Amino acid sequence: MGHKPLREQVIVVTGASSGIGLATARMAARRGARVVLAARSEAILAEIAAELGPRATHFVADVGRREDVQAIADHALATFGGSDTWVNVAGLTVYGPLREIAAEDHERLIRTNFWGTVYGSLIAAEHLRERGGAIINVGSIASDLAFPFQGLYAASKHAVKGFTDTLRMELRAEGAPVSVTLVKPASIDTPLPNRARNYMDREPTLPPPIYPPQEVANAILHAAVHPQRDIIVGGGGKLFVMGKEFAPGAYDELAPAIIALQKRSEPPRNPEGALHRPEGAGRERGDPPVYVMRTSAYTRATLHPLATAGLAAGLAATAALVLGGRHTGRRS
């Protein structure tokens, strides 16, 4: 299934006021797409839309409310005649032991991360059934892994994976011309930790290796034109997932180290974060205390599977020639 070139598309991006969503919206606009920006931060959205020019519009919405998500779709229809790709990025996190986190914080996280994705996907699917297009959900390697002290975040991303896989199968069964992609980033240099609700005694951070948000944006926009089922962003994340699959018990034993890697040395800056109110938006990147990778060679390769397969075949053929030559030499 192929889709329109980006320059002919209208792309809806939720969570567009910061991090991956903001990076995706800017990259899409630079590549010629018309963009609908959606988030809770009205002033920030207006600034970004003005920056991107007449090919961008914005709509203030809380994706945890179905009526707000429907209003985003209605705004896209009224402004640009509809959408071709819908990207569910909006997400929040909470740091701390599960037993200490208030029920209302758990509920708010699930409402945004899971129900926001469900509402966006189902509403987008109703529109795209008629014209074709892409639904792209941003999960995480936490869709496949558990992270102590981010337990409900991991649970929400597991739920997003289950929902996304089911939606893909149902759309395929009915023959709908809609692709469904799950993008699973590893640690990404965004303001997510800075905007998190924090129960820890230290400022939160992300475990390395950390990748730039543009790597995720590039993967999202690739899937908008060339659909793929799943995309992991960050080779380090792929290694974590593989390690857990092969040795789940050993991964469980890493819990103390994973907890330590999520804590900076300084005390909390803003423990309330942006969980219940929009705050700290407007930036693509955060301020991690460790080195940020420039790109992910692994992810770039997975976006071009034919080239990757060709390279693998070439390496295999070379190895066969070398081994065959050695074998022939021994026989001589």
What residue ranges do the domains of the chain occupy?
A: 6-295, 305-332
CATH architecture of 6-295: 3-Layer(aba) Sandwich (3.40)
Q: Which residue has the higher pLDDT, 312 or 176?
A: 176
Angle at 71 between CA 157 and CA 226, to 5 degrees: 55
What is the model's pTM?
A: 0.91
As a whole number, mean pLDDT of residues 169-197 equals 97
Indicate the pLDDT class of residue 181, thresholds 50, 70 and 90. Answer: very high
pLDDT of 312 strictly over 80 = no
pLDDT in tens, 101-116: 999 999 999 999 999 9
Whether the bond between 208 and the residue before it is cis, its omega within 30 degrees of 0, is no
As a whole number, mean pLDDT of residues 40-62 equals 97
Indicate the pLDDT class of residue 324, thresholds 50, 70 and 90. Answer: low
Longest dimension (CA), the chain: 78
Distance CA(274)–CA(56), nearest Å, equals 25
pLDDT in tens, 10-25: 999 999 999 999 999 9
Active-site residue list? 153
Give the model's pLDDT for residue 2.
79
Q: Tell me the two tokens of residue 24.
A: 């995706």
Indicate the pLDDT class of residue 326, thresholds 50, 70 and 90. Answer: very low
Give the model's pLDDT for residue 304.
83
